[in-house]
Structure 1
Amino acid sequence: MNLAEIPLFSMLKGRFGHLGERQRLISQNVANSDTPGYTPTDLQAYSFRAQMQSQMRPVTTQAVTQVGHMAPAARPNTTFRPIQAKDSETTLDGNSVVLEEEMMKMAEARMNYDAAISFYQKSLAMLRMASRAPGRG
Structure 2
Amino acid sequence: MSLTDLPILGMLRNKMQWHQARQGLLAENVANADMPHFRPRDLAEINRGSGPSGLAAPQASVVGGDGLARTNAGHIGLASADGPNADPKRFKGFEVRPSGNGVNLEEEMMKAGENQSDYQMVASLYQKSLDALKIAVGKR
Cα 1:32–1:3 change in 2 (3 A) is: farther
1:102 aligns with 2:108: yes
Report how far residue 87 of structure 1 moved.
4.4
Report how far residue 5 of structure 1 moved.
2.6
Residue in structure 2 matched with residue 9 of structure 1 by the alignment: 9
Query: Secondary structure in 1 aligned to 2:42?
Result: strand
Q: How far, CA to CA, are the matches of 1:51 and 1:3 in structure 2?
A: 26
Query: Secondary structure in 2 aligned to 1:10?
Result: helix
1:128 aligns with 2:134: yes
Gap regions ≥5 residues in structure 1: 59-75
TM-score, reference length from structure 1: 0.69
Root-mean-square deviation (CA), in Å?
2.7
Q: How far, CA to CA, are the matches of 1:101 and 1:132 in structure 2?
A: 47
1:45-69 CA distances to partner (integer Å, 9 max, x unpaired)?
A: 353xx2857x8399xxxxxxxxxxx
Q: How far, CA to CA, are the matches of 1:3 and 1:51 in structure 2?
A: 26
Name the larger-Rg structure.
1
Residue in structure 1 matched with residue 25 of structure 2 by the alignment: 25
Residue in structure 2 matched with residue 72 of structure 1 by the alignment: none
Between the two proteins, the alignment pairs up a number of residues equal to 111
Whether the 8 Å contact between 1:41 and 1:82 is mirrored in structure 2 is: no
Whether the 8 Å contact between 1:87 and 1:96 is mirrored in structure 2 is: no
TM-score, reference length from structure 2: 0.68
Cα 1:5–1:41 change in 2 (3 A) is: same
Query: Secondary structure in 1 aligned to 2:45?
Result: coil
Q: How far, CA to CA, are the matches of 1:100 and 1:94 in structure 2?
A: 18
Gap regions ≥5 residues in structure 2: 58-72, 75-84
Q: How far, CA to CA, are the matches of 1:51 and 1:18 in structure 2?
A: 18
Q: How far, CA to CA, are the matches of 1:123 and 1:44 in structure 2?
A: 26
